[in-house]
Chains A and B, each alone.
Chain A
Amino acid sequence: MQPEKIAAYLRQRMPDAADIAVSNVARIAGGASRETWSFDASWTNGGGRVERGFIIRRDPPASLLDGNNELEFELYSALKDSGVPIPPVYWIERDGAALDRPFFVMGRLPGATDARTLVTSPQFAEVRPSIARQKAEILARIHATDISALRSLHRPSEGETPADHEIGRWEAVLRRDALEPQPVLEMGFNWLKRHTPPPPARLALVHADYRTGNFLYDESGITGILDWEMAHAGDPIEDVGWLMMKSWRWAGDDRVGGLCSRDEFIRMYEEAGGAKVDGDALKFWEVFGNVKFATLFLTGLKSIIEGKTPDLLLALTAFINPGVELEIMELIS
């Protein structure tokens, strides 16, 4: 992505800004569903020089997800004053005129996302307990969000439970994208259909990828919640099940997200006003999370095998699936 093109775009969007300069344009590695680019911009406005860091989230040629820029943009806007740490969002472009593909622009928050550093580095030893608590409290806040005005949010149909809806949604992805028979995932879906929990008391905003590794942190704690592209209206315990998954236990032991025990997390989440966590429902959503995770990688694999994307991460992530399959078999046996 060329700095000149970004500068030209900013000139359109900020007609009062003079001498716009763009520098340090860099694609951020990781993130298999949308391109993320970081850049610095400076300009003169009202006599003073302004400098700011930005992030561009741009649609990729192909990805793990059929993403929806509109949804992420709408969520960041709606959560602005909710107490959920999110970056400020500025503009959304629904066509590729400015930068080849649709994108939106948001502010760059301080902090890092690397999960292993957070859970293993002595630098963060002191702040880890408070990050675990913040993680639970922020999740409770997300689940308390009023979703009635969120037009882009995917919802279950009338009379359909969130569990049935999510099973149907991801089973359709499996049917569409699997390049070969997937007996473990078929077992998983069959188990899920036989163990669906009752619907929640009310539909909640589900982040759907809430985990260590998807938030920004520094020595002060969590500075931003990222990666909202799978967010939807559903059962809040879906998020709790997802963050419990073995794939995110970065410390290599039983601590969820490498930060605290399951019981501790549930207690902190409930104390913060989160939904009551039922053990059977939690198990359902943890199995579901693993099945969905493995299914996502089938989509990525299909994209790269069919030449829709050159992103080698999508070839590599397919090799994560055997470990996820083992976890599914362990959970449903």
Chain B
Amino acid sequence: MRPYPEEVLKAIQTGIGAHFAPELQSNYARAQLAFSMLLFTIAQRDYDTAVPDVIEHNKELRALLADARAALDGLQHPEAASARAALDALPLPAQSLKLSDLRGEREALRAAVCALVPLIEPAADDPPLAALRDIRSRVYAYLTADSRKRIVPILTV
């Protein structure tokens, strides 16, 4: 049913710009208005693709973590047992398309990456962790690509 939520956001943004902006007297208030305009734009940009974005993110990260779990098999290291336990305790994929459920799954997957940090961050230069070098490269590539996707160009030098 129209208006869609992103259209409502757009209407509010336009209305604020038309009705409130001309009334603002101080530079501070004008700056706050400019911030709100940018935030409206970001919210609209993310609205339509939010669900497929999280689904894709979760699918990719779950596959990566499955490979990490396999790489951890047989690894002798003080941190290995807790990392294996964290990966074994991952929740099942979200059973609905509700954003809140998908985001909950994403947080669990990202927490599992955090549990791997003491093993994969030093793997490049720590010989006992050499078996994790490939998975380290893939996790770094994943995190780099994920950060790149979330960049808002106007806010980046």
Contact = CB atoms under 8 A, between A and B. Distances in A.
B150 interface: yes
Nearest to B35: A312
A312 B110 contact: no
B155 interface: yes
Contacts of A323: 147, 151, 155-157
B94 interface: no
Contacts of B39: 312, 315-316
B114 interface: yes
B28 A181 contact: no
A29 B110 CA distance: 35
A26 B35 contact: no
A319 interface: yes
B49 interface: no
Given A183-B117, A312-B36, A316-B39, A250 B147 contact: no
Nearest to A258: B157
B61 to A, nearest CB: 10
Contact of B107 (A29, A181, A329): A181
Given A247-B157, A312-B32, A326-B148, A333 B111 contact: no
Given A187-B121, A323-B155, A315 B35 contact: yes
Interface residues of B, number: 32
A181 B113 contact: yes
Interface string A205-237: 000000000000000000000000000000000
Contacts of A194: 121-122
B128 interface: no
Interface residues of A, number: 36
Contacts of B42: 319
Interface string B5-31: 000000000000000000000111011
Nearest to A332: B121
B76 interface: no
Interface in A29-71: 29-30
Nearest to B122: A194
A135 interface: no
B155 A246 contact: no
A143 to B, nearest CB: 26
27 contacts: A26-B26, A26-B28, A27-B28, A30-B31, A181-B111, A182-B110, A183-B114, A186-B114, A186-B117, A187-B121, A190-B117, A191-B121, A246-B157, A248-B157, A249-B157, A252-B157, A316-B38, A316-B39, A316-B155, A319-B42, A320-B155, A322-B148, A322-B152, A323-B151, A323-B157, A326-B147, A333-B140
Interface of A: 26-30, 180-184, 186-187, 190-191, 194, 246-250, 252, 311-313, 315-316, 319-323, 325-326, 329, 332-333
